[in-house]
């Protein structure tokens, strides 16, 4: 997979973000192992705890459509620097064994990480 294409999909998706409180528009593009791509955006709420991040939006959309096997996810925002998933999103990435996380800036420059680099010793069993 061309990671640049996945970053582009995330950049396009971020245009649909609902961010009236932070003003930060975040987009994500999730690559399924079958080649399907699901996008997501951050959806804010005046009660900040009810806000959903772009990464989780993309993952939850895919899961709701029956997808369970993923290859990579790209995340980008309006920032001119790389943006990284929050702790909750990192835990969800670990839950669904998404092996690759591509973090990007608003121009499409990106860096590739393994999920286990971003959340070492993830909580995966109880």
Catalytic residues: 55
Cα separation, 68 vs 17, in Å, equals: 24
Instruction: Tell me how far apart the alpha carbons of residues 32 and 43 are, in angstroms, rounded to a whole number.
Output: 22
- At 17 the pLDDT is 98
CATH number, residue 47: 3.40.140.10
Kindly state whether residue 44 falls inside one of the protein's structural domains.
yes
- pLDDT tens per residue across all 126 residues of the chain: 789 999 999 999 999 999 999 999 999 999 999 999 999 999 999 999 999 999 999 999 999 999 999 999 999 999 999 999 999 999 999 999 999 999 999 999 999 999 999 999 999 877
Following DSSP, what letter does each residue of 24-83 receive, concatenated?
A: --EEEEEEETTS-EEEEE-B--SSGGG-B-HHHHHHHHHHHTT---EEEEEEEESSSS--
Domain that holds residue 23: 3-118
60 inside domain? yes
For Cα atoms 107, 112, 117, give the angle at the middle one, nearest 5 degrees. Answer: 135
**CA–CA gap between residue 59 and residue 71 (Å, rounded):** 12
Does any domain span residue 126?
Answer: no
User: Is 125 part of a structural domain of the chain?
Assistant: no
pLDDT value at position 1?
Answer: 72
Domain total in the chain = 1
**Residue 49, in any domain of the structure:** yes
Predicted pLDDT at 13: 98
pTM: 0.96
């Amino acid at each position: 997979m061309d990671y640049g294409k996945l970053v582009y999909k995330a950049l396009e998706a971020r245009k649909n973000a609902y961010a009236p409180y932070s003003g930060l528009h975040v987009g994500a593009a999730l690559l399924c192992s079958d080649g399907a791509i699901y996008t997501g955006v951050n959806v804010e709420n005046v009660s900040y705890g009810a806000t959903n991040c772009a990464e989780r939006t993309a993952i939850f959309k895919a899961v709701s459509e029956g997808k369970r096997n993923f290859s990579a996810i790209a995340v980008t925002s309006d920032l001119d620097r790389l943006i990284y998933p929050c702790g909750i999103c990192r835990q969800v990435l670990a839950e669904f064994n998404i092996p690759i996380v591509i973090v990007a800036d608003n121009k499409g420059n990106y860096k590739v990480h393994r999920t286990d680099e971003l959340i070492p010793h993830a909580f995966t069993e109880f």
